[in-house]
Amino acid sequence: MIYQEQDVLRLARRWNNAKRSYLLVDPLQAKHVPVGPSAALAMMRSLGDLLLQEAGDAGLLIGFAETATAISGAAALCFGNDLQYLQTTRESCSSFRMLEFREEHSHAVTQQIASAPLEGLQTRRIIMIDDEISTGRTIENVIAVLRREFPALQETEFVIGSVICRLSEERRRALSEQGIRFVSLVPVADRDFESAVSEMDAVPPVMAERSDMPYSMYQAAHPLPAFRTGTDTGTMRTALDRFTEECGSYLREQLPETGRILVLGTEECMLPAIMAGQYLEEHCPGLSVFTHATTRSPIGICGAADYPCPNGVQLASFYEAERVNYLYNIRDYDAVAVVTDSTDDAQCRLAMQFLAGAFSQHCCTFYLIRG
């Protein structure tokens, strides 16, 4: 499928970020804007198919947290079963050796990548996927870290996949000399987004109120893949299929035959929610299914026409007590099903209370699925 700029780009104002005041929001990405799961996966697989053509012999695919975790995972599944897959993370993985790098323009600068999948790796190409490439500085940072730690990667070509790429030809040539090549669904001419968002009259999301509205909790028997510490696509495909079948079957038994359903991911855990949503689309034709996710990214709220976040709230994180999360585009649903990989019982309970409060005027039926 061919995508145009108007399909994948909306402009929003970041809140309280002095490094970059704007955010490019992709309405098909299933992060900030609710979207049909099949429509989201179609875009992600389009990038995967393109990368398969351009770098089909790659030995490793790395996805960037948090917004590109679903894109990279879905793209990896377009390859055969032997491709190694790994996503960067901001979560604690204390039992694994992790390398740090910086995403300089982000609200959360420090990211980590597990070292084990790179130790002894022999491959001509490594693919990295981010949702949007603007300057390429994050890419330079992480590749510099990897080449310093793993000298065998000095001659390895890095193919960078993205939905949107705004790099100038001059910048592309400079990075090409470092063995870095870019592949994107939609090249976008760079322009002054900073000035455009400075005219937007946005306000910060406020904290949602807590609600004791009950919810049903389901612990999946089939575990999710080890996205953050590395897996191969064959193992990943089998695990996701089993998880999706199990959770989708559970929700089919619980949900009405008709209505509007939201399947909500949490932070870096996006792809399992999207795939569970697609299962419902395929097996429950009377349901209108939507998916997106909570995020760490603070975005201004604005009611202007075509602005991608006309409403939003702060929430408690499903993962960590001191962390603030955000949820945008709260709408009316007959049920909301949260899919998370959090193992923190107390945080899950707290986050569900804030989520129920955020939806208090929009929904009264909630499910929590833990993988």
51-101 pLDDT, tens digit per residue, is 999 999 999 999 999 999 999 999 999 999 999 999 999 998 877 888 988
Say yes or no: 170 and 102 in one domain.
yes
> How far apart (Å, rounded) are the C-alpha atoms in residues 270 and 263?
10
Lowest mean pLDDT among 15-19, 32-36, 45-49: 15-19
CB 24 within 8 A of CB 164: yes
Q: Are residues 251 and 172 in the same domain?
A: no
Percent of the chain residues past pLDDT 90, beyond the cut: 90
**Together in a domain, 80 and 191:** yes
Per residue in 174-189, pLDDT tens? 999 999 999 999 999 9
227 and 191 share a domain?
no
- pTM to 2 decimals? 0.96
Of 300, 318, 304, nearest to 354 by C-alpha is: 318
Share of the chain above pLDDT 70, in %: 98
More confident residue, 190 or 264: 264
Residues 156, 234: one domain?
no
Domain boundary, last residue among 198, 219, 235: 198
Residue 242 sits in the same domain as residue 144: no
| Helix, coil or strand: residue 203 | strand
Structural domain for 291, as ranges:
206-370
Residue 356 and residue 230 share a domain: yes
Burial class (CB in 10 A: 0-12, 13-18, 19+), 233: buried
Nearest one of 336, 89, 96 to 227, comparing CA atoms:
89
For residues 149 and 220, state if they share a domain. no
User: Are residues 279 and 140 both part of a single domain?
Assistant: no
Residue 109 has what pLDDT?
59
Q: For residue 116, which amino acid is it? A: A
Q: How confident is the model at residue 294 (pLDDT cuts 50, 70, 90)?
A: very high
Which residues have a Cβ under 8 Å from the Cβ of 128 and sit 6 or more positions away?
61, 62, 63, 64, 139, 142, 158, 159, 160, 161
Interval 198-203 mean pLDDT: 91
- Tell me whether strands 22-25 and 110-114 are parallel, antiparallel or unpaired: unpaired
Separation of alpha carbons 239 and 225, rounded Å? 6
Split at pLDDT 50, 70, 90, the class of 190 is confident
Q: How far apart are CA 317 and CA 347, in angstroms?
A: 7
For the domain that residue 27 is a member of, what is the CATH number?
3.40.50.2020
Q: Which CATH number do you get for residue 303?
A: 3.40.50
Residue showing tokens 């790099």: 167
Reported as a pLDDT band with limits 50, 70 and 90, residue 218 is: very high
Residues 17 and 108 in one domain: yes
138-156 tens-digit pLDDT = 899 899 999 999 999 999 9
Is there a single domain that holds both residue 227 and residue 160? no
The amino acid occupying position 120 is G
Residue that terminates a domain, selected from 167, 198, 229: 198
Domain boundary among 133, 167, 198: 198
pLDDT of 27-36, one tens digit each? 999 999 999 9
215 torsion bin: left (phi>0), alpha (psi -120 to 50), beta (else): beta
Torsion, CA 229, CA 150, CA 112, CA 221, rounded to 10: 0
Number of domains in the chain: 2
93: exposed, middle or buried (Cβ count in 10 Å: 0-12, 13-18, 19+) = middle
Closest CA to 291 of 351, 336, 239: 336
Q: How far apart are CA 56 and CA 52, in angstroms?
A: 4
Residues 59 and 128 placed together within one structural domain of the fold: yes
